[in-house]
């Protein structure tokens, strides 16, 4: 559903981890699609200011709310601040996420790293979704499409034993997507998972030389790095309501990385 089909009501999205990287790409694509956008992140720095500027340049309202998605006791207050800033939400994008502090042998994964990955990548988004979904259910949709999009990863299905706890957190996000999709379908709320492959951001910068080589050697049928705009466009398409009779799906934004090849 585009803005016209929504009766031209302004729609509003909250993008966690929207300060930079894929979150910025999503914020820009949503703004391009007519959404007012709140970016939620740990710190309001120069990157955050650049993202807010970019939203404004696309003609919609932007705002910043400080938030740590892992701090689940703060979620209610965070959503209050988000809605105070732009009004009632129609869309939540659970994008904030971290990789392992250090890639290494699965046999040496520490409980501390395991817990941290689970808190930020899984438990935080799960409980934030719970809170936002409850608000969606309390309010009438006013004819507007509402949805929740979870940014998981190719590691939702692909095993990388040098960052096992990351893979576990992201594969559980897939199930969380299906669980919420099954719960919220009756209310017309779509829940989706977007699985980025190798996307050029700070997160992948540590392994850029390795990915350059692997992409050149045929890692992906589409032989290039993914860009944050690739992920942004996919999320914006889902948020537009164009897939109104779909829910629980995972969209790969990975240049075909997921295709098993012989």
Residue placing its CB nearer to ligand NAI in the complex, 74 or 141? 74
Site for ligand NAI in 90-119 (CB under 6 A): 95-98
d(CA 180, CA 123): 14
Which residues inside 137-176 make contact with ligand NAI, applying CB under 6 A? 151, 153
Q: Please name the helix (run of DSSP H) or strand (run of DSSP E) that holds residue 155, with its range, or none.
A: none
Residue of 28, 145, 166, 211 with catalytic role:
166
- The DSSP bridge partners found for residue 226 are 199
Cross-strand partners of 93: 15, 149
Query: Which residue in 6, 14, 15, 17 binds ligand NAI (CB under 6 A)?
Result: 17
Task: Report if residue 193 touches ligand NAI, rule: CB under 6 A.
Answer: no
* 213-242 footprint of ligand NAI as x/- string (CB under 6 A): ------------------------------
Q: At its nearest, how many Å lie between ligand NAI and the CB of residue 240?
A: 20
Applying CB under 6 A, the site for ligand NAI has a residue count of 27
CB closer to ligand NAI, 6 vs 150: 150
- Confirm or reject binding of residue 20 to ligand NAI (CB under 6 A): yes
- Does the active-site annotation cover 145? no
CA dist., res. 22 & res. 232, Å (int):
7
Strand ordering across the sheet containing 11-16:
62-66, 35-41, 11-16, 91-94, 146-151, 189-196, 250-253
How many helices and strands, by DSSP H and E, does the chain display?
9, 7
3-state helix, strand, coil in the chain (%, to 5): 50, 15, 35
Residues in 59-78 at the binding interface with ligand NAI, rule: CB under 6 A: 67-70
Q: Is 26 in the site for ligand NAI (CB under 6 A)?
A: no
User: What is the smallest separation between the CB atom of 246 and ligand NAI, expressed in angstroms?
Assistant: 21
- Phi, psi angles (nearest 5°) of residue 177: -60, -45
Does position 19 bind ligand NAI by CB under 6 A? yes
CB of 253 to ligand NAI, least distance (A): 9
DSSP letter at 43 equals -
113 or 153: whose CB is closer to ligand NAI?
153
128 CA to centre of own chain: 12
Q: Active-site residue numbers?
A: 166
């Amino acid at each position: 559903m585009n803005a016209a089909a929504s009766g031209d009501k302004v729609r509003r999205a909250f993008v966690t981890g929207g300060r930079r990287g894929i979150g910025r790409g999503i914020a820009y694509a949503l703004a391009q699609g007519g959404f007012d956008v709140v970016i939620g992140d740990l710190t309001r720095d120069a990157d955050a200011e650049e993202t807010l500027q970019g939203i404004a340049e696309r003609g919609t309202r932007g705002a910043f709310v400080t938030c740590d998605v892992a701090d689940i006791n703060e979620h209610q207050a965070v959503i209050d601040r988000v809605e105070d800033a732009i009004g009632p939400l129609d869309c939540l994008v659970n994008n904030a996420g971290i990789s392992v502090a250090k890639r290494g042998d699965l046999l040496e994964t520490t409980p501390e790293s395991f817990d941290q990955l689970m808190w930020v990548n899984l438990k935080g988004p799960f409980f934030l979704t719970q809170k936002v979904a409850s608000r969606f259910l309390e309010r009438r949709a006013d004819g507007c499409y509402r949805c929740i999009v979870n940014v998981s990863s190719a590691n939702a299905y692909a095993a990388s034993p040098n960052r096992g706890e990351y893979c576990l957190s992201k594969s559980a996000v897939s199930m969380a997507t299906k669980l919420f999709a099954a719960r919220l379908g009756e209310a017309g709320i779509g829940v989706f998972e977007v699985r980025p492959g190798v996307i050029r951001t700070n997160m992948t910068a540590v392994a850029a030389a390795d990915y350059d080589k692997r992409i050149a050697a045929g890692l992906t049928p589409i032989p290039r790095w993914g860009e944050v705009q690739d992920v942004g466009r996919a999320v914006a398409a889902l948020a537009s309501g164009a897939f109104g009779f779909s829910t629980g799906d995972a969209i790969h934004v990975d240049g075909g990385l997921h295709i098993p090849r012989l």
